[in-house]
Amino acid sequence: MSLFSNVGRKFEKTKRTFIDDEAAEYACMSCENPVDEEYEYCPHCGKETVEPVE
């Protein structure tokens, strides 16, 4: 359960950062970089962790 809690906190932190800046619609949950479009793989780190920022 700790793994999911850590991922949830990281996602929430990243989401709040991008919502406050209103810069990106998507973000990579691994490297925490903003992404302009919905990609299958992050253009920054190459992982499959691009998620929409709500």
Distance CA 47, CA 10 (A): 16
Please tell me the pTM assigned to this model. 0.54
pLDDT band at 42 (very low <50, low <70, confident <90, very high): very high
Q: Per-residue pLDDT tens for 4-22? A: 777 777 777 776 665 555 5
Amino acid letter for position 7: V
CA dihedral 1, 7, 20, 46 (to 10 degrees): -170
With beta carbons less than 8 A apart as the criterion, state whether 10 and 29 touch.
Answer: yes
